[in-house]
Structure 1
């Protein structure tokens, strides 16, 4: 049984979240709290397994409460966020500070249509109940002077036609923090484009990309339909969209669509990897990191069946949820199993030193 503390300043929201969670026989609500200060006290008294934490509260808001939780006695926290741009940016910060995941309120701080995310909330609480959480400092951002401006697809530098490698990364629960441990360690001289699928709803991936771009030497952005990919840039699939990559006049071109996938995820790791399998002239370096389920496993099989490549899986030691990496490892297709802090170095060991 997973015991949950529900934290929200709205009595209506506390009641609705409690009702939804307790409809699942594996979840029990141990208690509720009206603000962050009360939540910290209830955590000491009740020792819950998981906390659902509202972002906007009086006395102590969700972000400050999360910081206190992670500094004193880390446990799985799911942020309950608004869909505004500011809400998305704060949510990404909270994921950096150690929140396991988040649920977006459909219509503001008091969402009478919260039932729309009922199943998602239950699934995330069940996943969080199995998650491993540790306090861990965030990396310092790179100096702003080292950064290239992020250009829109209409104004792109020319990509070297000699580049014959690409990197593809798939991740889910715990992924934003894992990406934060990997992408800032990639050099700006990286001779390959990087394509990332992070399971995340629409409205949040742009903030994730902007934050990672600020921390990294490589340029990180949310992918655009029709965009030409270039070396040293990282393209994150937009939430709610699938990303595929195809070859057009010698260049890698990104396409986005709304199709449903067998994995039920949108964006889907399998969908991206399947599109990359047809690019026979490119060597793929595939990375599967923390996340629930097995999205990416079929995609990895396709990559290796139709073209050459290397596969790196995150280790159980560093995975918040050892689902997606484990599924790949169990197929026997992983070339390396690495702690998240070693994944960037593992990627670079497979990069060609010179290009003809």
Structure 2
């Protein structure tokens, strides 16, 4: 059975272009369309689509308000179309906080110009978001958790994430105390215009200090450093960051694999790496290198992920020392890092 999609946008032209892409794939079908946020809520309730594409700027009710209504009345995976501006970043992050699952840059030129890459990405995201992990069911903090004691003292925490990561990172980092004893490096797949706004938002919400990483800066305890979108973040020495353009052949900028792998030389077995929700397998090979150096790797428990691709890649490769529900990760970090296991 094909996946039903509701297309929401106040531009008739944009709706038509999205509908054409969706209906060209036999696995997908457009079940309805809406030109404003209020109509989107009504049609979600009446048509019960499997997934929704959503614009932000619309009459009667904007996209964020519509997302909140939908997630309250008929929770459904929602893919936002977003502008790649600083204001667009803030709006998109608000939409993710409201319950949207993922986003795509909104470009009239690309969607009307026959860009096959955009079509492939849109189809792939819709198929993935309509899957069983698209609306996570968060269990109680103790559910399904196997804990381990570790002999080493940890000096660095690494966290990698992709789809669903902004909300997951918020849930983890806001629970850490101001005196958390290690620096934290965060690798989240986001466009370059988004990461500064995301770092500012996290910093306002957290007791620890959060900032976008800067080339050459020294790391400090109780601080988290977010890799700039479109760049790579590596360690060039103990407690020293390097931000660079990186190899064009790498699929992700920033790459979880690259940051994870760079920690092995300088921290040995004193690294704790955590792989959160995300599409694909970025982080698996970096985790493999960390394990060869006797570091510790955790994976987010699948049922608490928006998309469990990245954590499952870790567990299937037998690289996870612990598989932890999202709401338990911060507590375990404090237990293990502060007290050395």
Shared fold per TM-score greater than 0.5: yes
Q: TM-score, normalised by structure 2?
A: 0.89
Report the counterpart of residue 260 of structure 1 in structure 2.
Answer: 248
CA distance in structure 2 between the aligned counterparts of 1:135 and 1:333, rounded to whole angstroms: 24
Cα displacement string for residues 277-303 of structure 1 (whole angstroms, at most 9, x for unaligned residues)? 222456110001111111111110001
- 1:75 shift after superposition: 0.8
More helix per residue: 2
Report the counterpart of residue 216 of structure 1 in structure 2.
Answer: 206
Maintained 8 Å contact 1:240/1:258: no
Q: Structure 1: which 5+ residue stretches go unaligned?
A: 137-162
Structure 1 range deviating more: 327-336 or 343-352: 343-352
Cα displacement string for residues 293-342 of structure 1 (whole angstroms, at most 9, x for unaligned residues)? 1111111000111x232111111121111111111111222111111010
Maintained 8 Å contact 1:37/1:65: yes
Q: Does 1:311 align with 2:313?
A: no
Maintained 8 Å contact 1:223/1:236: yes
Cα displacement string for residues 249-300 of structure 1 (whole angstroms, at most 9, x for unaligned residues)? x5422323242345x1221111111111222456110001111111111110
**Alignment CA distance shift 1:251-1:313 (3 Å):** closer
- Say which SS state the counterpart of residue 203 (structure 1) adopts: helix
- 1:38 shift after superposition: 1.0
Report the counterpart of residue 113 of structure 1 in structure 2.
Answer: 110
Q: Which residue of the other structure, out of 172, 189, 199, is the alignment partner of 2:189?
A: 199
Q: Structure 2: which 5+ residue stretches go unaligned?
A: 139-152
Q: Does 1:331 align with 2:321?
A: no
- 1:67 shift after superposition: 0.6
Report the counterpart of residue 231 of structure 1 in structure 2.
Answer: 221
- 1:134 shift after superposition: 5.3
Report the counterpart of residue 273 of structure 2 in structure 1.
Answer: 286
Report the counterpart of residue 157 of structure 1 in structure 2.
Answer: none
Maintained 8 Å contact 1:166/1:282: no
CA distance in structure 2 between the aligned counterparts of 1:65 and 1:186, rounded to whole angstroms: 32
**Alignment CA distance shift 1:135-1:6 (3 Å):** farther
CA distance in structure 2 between the aligned counterparts of 1:229 and 1:261, rounded to whole angstroms: 28
Maintained 8 Å contact 1:285/1:309: yes
Q: Which has the higher contact order (CA 8 A, sep 6+)?
A: 2
Maintained 8 Å contact 1:285/1:350: no
Report the counterpart of residue 146 of structure 1 in structure 2.
Answer: none
**Alignment CA distance shift 1:303-1:81 (3 Å):** same
The 5 A counterparts of 1:291-302 are: 291-302=278-289
Maintained 8 Å contact 1:98/1:135: no
CA distance in structure 2 between the aligned counterparts of 1:93 and 1:288, rounded to whole angstroms: 23
CA distance in structure 2 between the aligned counterparts of 1:280 and 1:92, rounded to whole angstroms: 33
Maintained 8 Å contact 1:77/1:101: yes
Report the counterpart of residue 4 of structure 2 in structure 1.
Answer: 3
CA distance in structure 1 between the aligned counterparts of 2:302 and 2:85, rounded to whole angstroms: 34
CA distance in structure 1 between the aligned counterparts of 2:120 and 2:265, rounded to whole angstroms: 35
Q: CA RMSD in A?
A: 1.9
The 5 A counterparts of 1:166-205 are: 166-205=156-195
Maintained 8 Å contact 1:313/1:325: yes
Maintained 8 Å contact 2:233/2:241: no
The 5 A counterparts of 1:1-356 are: 1-106=2-107, 111-114=108-111, 115=113, 116=115, 117-130=118-131, 131-133=133-135, 165-247=155-237, 251-262=239-250, 264-281=251-268, 283-305=270-292, 307-353=293-339
CA distance in structure 2 between the aligned counterparts of 1:335 and 1:278, rounded to whole angstroms: 20
- Say which SS state the counterpart of residue 221 (structure 1) adopts: strand
Maintained 8 Å contact 2:182/2:220: yes
Maintained 8 Å contact 1:228/1:254: no
